[in-house]
Chains A and B, each alone.
Chain A
Amino acid sequence: MMEIPYTVAVRRDTGLTNGKIGIWLFLASEVMLFGALFASYILIRAGAPSWPRGDSILNVPLATFNTIVLISSSITMVMAWASLMRGRFGTFRIYMGGTILLGFVFLVVKYFEYSHKFHDGLFPSSNNFLAIYFTLTGLHMLHVLGGMAVNAYFWGPGAKLWKTNPVWFTNRVENSGLFWHFVDLVWIFLFPTLYLL
């Protein structure tokens, strides 16, 4: 396999690795994706004769709990990366495992929220508030799942790289963390928009 320059070391004049630029570009496109969805939400809500308050339909305490869960997972994600920076692979495993676990807790809570809505006969087709709610949180959940899959890879089989190229491994975990923080940030926008306004 031919080697591509600047996968591990930074290029002098840009000060960046390829992966770092790549992940930021990806996040830029994600901003456009969620930006378009939020814009659609605003347009549909602005055109609606009446719009329910989020807390009259959705479970605010559960969502608050989930917000705390996701923010905590962002903290453990940073700690996982910081552990690698200090060369402590054992602590990395613990924090990364914690991040994945918190992601899982988030999904479980979301599962109960969803099934409760379905049980009450509230579906995406019921009205546009629920349509927006299910589509946006559903897409966000897919992102949580994607982030968990990548993190699980670095926790498990991907961690082999630590032995052969610790710098590269640390960079990759950092990039995965950037994505995880983004997913967290999307939720921080979703929570007030859907549940509180």
Chain B
Amino acid sequence: MSHPGATAPPTPHVPHGSHHEEELGFWRKYVFSVDHKVIGIQYAITGMLFLLFGFSLMMLMRWQLAYPGSALPLLGSMLGEVRMPGGIMQPDFYNELGAMHGTIMVFLGVVPLAVGGFGNFVVPLQIGAPDMAFPRLNMASYWFFFLGGVTMLASFFVPGGAAQGGWTSYPPLAILLGTGQTWWLIGMIFLITSSLLGAINFITTTIQLRAKGLTYFRFPFFVWAQFVTAFLLLLAFPPLEAAAVLQLMDRLAGTSFFLPTGLVVSGQVLTNAGGGNPILWQHLFWFLAHPEVYVLILPGMGIVAEIVANNTRKPLWGYRPMVYSLLFLGFMSFIVWAHHMFMTGMGTGMAAFFQTTTMIISIPSVVILTALIMSLWGGSIRFTTPMLFALGFLPMFGIGGLTGLPLGFNISDIPLHDTYYVIGHFHYVVAPGTIFALFAGVYYWYPKATGRLMNETLGRIHFFGSFVCMNVIFMPMFFIGLAGVSRRLFDGGASYAFAQPVLHLNVVSSWGAWILALFQIPFIFNFFWSAWKGAKAGDNPWDATTIEWAAPSPPPHGNFLKAPEAYRGPYEYSVPGAAKDFTPQYEA
């Protein structure tokens, strides 16, 4: 073979460390950095700010749901005469909040924190790499994400406000809405580009930059989770990009991809050419958005697996079946999307197919969750803050998953579709599920990023307060939903007679949300205070086994002082006969 690449001598896998580094200026070091750790922290902090912002939007909505039509004290009058005249929320504003809460939480909060933040920071360290395979691409992916975020935020200030068609942006409604929707689509194209660049980088890094001796089945489970997630992002996002382009064409060039013939809006037949298909959007959207559900949950599962193994001081129970389940889950997630569409009249044959695949995909999820619970058995558990959040994740994700089963069946989905039951279900998966896992990850890897531990007492207050509030918020939604209340109602069902018996639950849920906000204050304080005043951590504060703990805390540019090597599997805890209860992967 005459390929020049093949004949060149292989570069020895030695990270060229920080010692011959010239000092970078502030902008190159902290803002336009190409270092995966800085980019990871940028992603994480931006993601957390968006989570807080998205949460604030929801707290406003909860006021309207608990006390429909009453003036919001203090804050209400500050939001302007158009949106909240006299502090009373207008329906358009409510829709704006709803659409943007979903969009921001999913695309600007959880995914950037879980994949951009933890993936960037932890994966190269856990595989013993000096950085990502394409550092400049990595920087570009953060800045595309940032641009997407700015576009979404700016859309609140355009005439007519931000998008109001829900995070799913179903046509024809979304096409007929104001300018905010165009901004939403453009913002999404930025975010998709960012994810795409990130996914390419993650997969290449994981395949190419593994340390010597780190075979695939010596990967920590977190690396596997991010690896599979990256494939989902790579292959599921482009169809949404295609859909966004088509919807943009419908909005800007007057095409009719999603507009059927003879559509009547406010008593007038639209003059569009017609012939389009609104269901086409739903197919393209859910082709992304179902894998996206696994993008939301898999990194969380990865984090929990790391923390469970570390704090039970024993190997994960069933590591290999967990990895196989993960791969199967990743594959199956591409063929379940239309279970979101049982109500579209797509036909019983299609519905039967998709409900079958949906039931099948629940099996690997249950395998992973069961393995994590079984891992607790017989362990000498350390109840550290990360472990508390990880332990909180297990039953919460369990509730979220199990309540999804009735939605996966065509027949039981019909009465439950678009009710508060659905909201309860997926929030259990994402809020006390994924977000708890992400908190666990923040507490767990914080000492690696800053060299200092976060305060445990504040961590406990944060955990127990959040755990109770999360259930106070979301448990009532199952009952509201089973009573048949639609999730889209601006007054939370107050104008319907059948909803009267469950209306008081809206108040309970709302107070849960507002008190949850108070319990985030210890976390925010802890996050900043510990960076300067926290206890010094050392390289391996948790007595962990995986490779990231071989690097100094915080790791320098280039990560490791000496190229690490993997000698064994990732979770060699309590090995009989060993001198200590953990045998790191990186020690010969």
User: Which residue numbers of A lie inside 8 Å of B, CB to CB?
Assistant: 2-12, 14-18, 20-22, 25-26, 28-30, 32-37, 40, 43-44, 47-48, 85, 123-128, 131, 134-135, 139, 166-167, 170-171
Contact = CB atoms under 8 A, between A and B. Distances in A.
- Which of B9, B200, B242, B287 gathers the greatest number of chain A CB atoms within 10 Å? B242
B8 A167 contact: yes
B38 to A, nearest CB: 13
30 contacts: A2-B557, A4-B209, A6-B11, A6-B133, A6-B208, A10-B6, A11-B10, A14-B207, A18-B208, A18-B209, A21-B208, A22-B204, A25-B200, A25-B203, A29-B196, A29-B238, A32-B239, A34-B242, A35-B238, A36-B238, A36-B287, A40-B284, A44-B275, A85-B3, A124-B254, A127-B275, A128-B255, A128-B256, A167-B4, A170-B5
Contacts of B275: 44, 47-48, 127-128
Interface stretch (B84-92, B243-251, B440-448, B461-469): B243-251
B460 interface: no
Given A4-B130, A37-B242, A40-B242, A171 B207 contact: no
A34 to B, nearest CB: 8
Contacts of A17: 5
A29 B21 CA distance: 36
A85 B2 contact: yes
Contact of B241 (A18, A33, A170): A33
For the residues of A in contact with B, the DSSP-based class is helix
Nearest to B287: A36
B11 A5 contact: yes
Given A18-B208, A135-B249, A139-B245, A4 B133 contact: yes
Interface string B259-271: 0000000000000
B134 A36 contact: no
A25 B234 contact: yes
B511 to A, nearest CB: 44
A156 B253 CA distance: 36
Nearest to B239: A36
Given A131-B253, A135-B245, 7 more contacts: A7-B133, A18-B209, A29-B199, A85-B3, A125-B254, A131-B256, A135-B246
Contacts of B272: 125
Given A125-B254, A128-B273, A10 B249 contact: no
Contacts of B176: none
A123 to B, nearest CB: 7
A47 B277 contact: yes
A124 B253 contact: yes
A28 B255 contact: no
B4 A33 contact: no
B16 interface: yes
Nearest to A25: B200
B11 A16 contact: no
Nearest to B202: A25
Classify chain B's interface size.
35 or more
A133 to B, nearest CB: 10
Contact of A8 (B5, B21, B209): B5
B518 interface: no
A4 B124 CA distance: 12
B172 to A, nearest CB: 15
A44 B274 CA distance: 11
A12 B9 CA distance: 10
Contact of B242 (A36, A131, A134): A36
Closest 3 CB pairs of A and B: A125-B254, A36-B239, A131-B255
Contacts of A131: 249, 253, 255-257, 273
Contact of A18 (B9, B133, B234, B257): B133
Given A2-B15, A36-B238, A125 B131 contact: no
A115 to B, nearest CB: 16
A146 B241 CA distance: 17
B220 interface: no
A44 B243 CA distance: 13
B280 interface: yes
Nearest to A126: B273
Contacts of A127: 273, 275
Contacts of A5: 11, 13-15, 130, 208-209
A129 B254 CA distance: 13
B459 interface: no
Interface in B80-133: 130-133
A141 B253 CA distance: 17
Contact of A9 (B11, B203, B557): B11
A56 B3 CA distance: 47
A172 to B, nearest CB: 11
A97 B208 CA distance: 33
Contact of B208 (A16, A30, A128): A16
B379 interface: no
B377 to A, nearest CB: 37
A180 B543 CA distance: 50
A10 B557 contact: no
Contacts of A85: 2-4
B196 to A, nearest CB: 6
B235 A22 contact: no
Nearest to B558: A2
Interface string B1-32: 01111101111011111100100000000000
Contacts of A12: 10
A126 B8 CA distance: 56
Contacts of B183: none
B207 A170 contact: no
A174 B29 CA distance: 33
Contacts of A8: 5, 8, 11
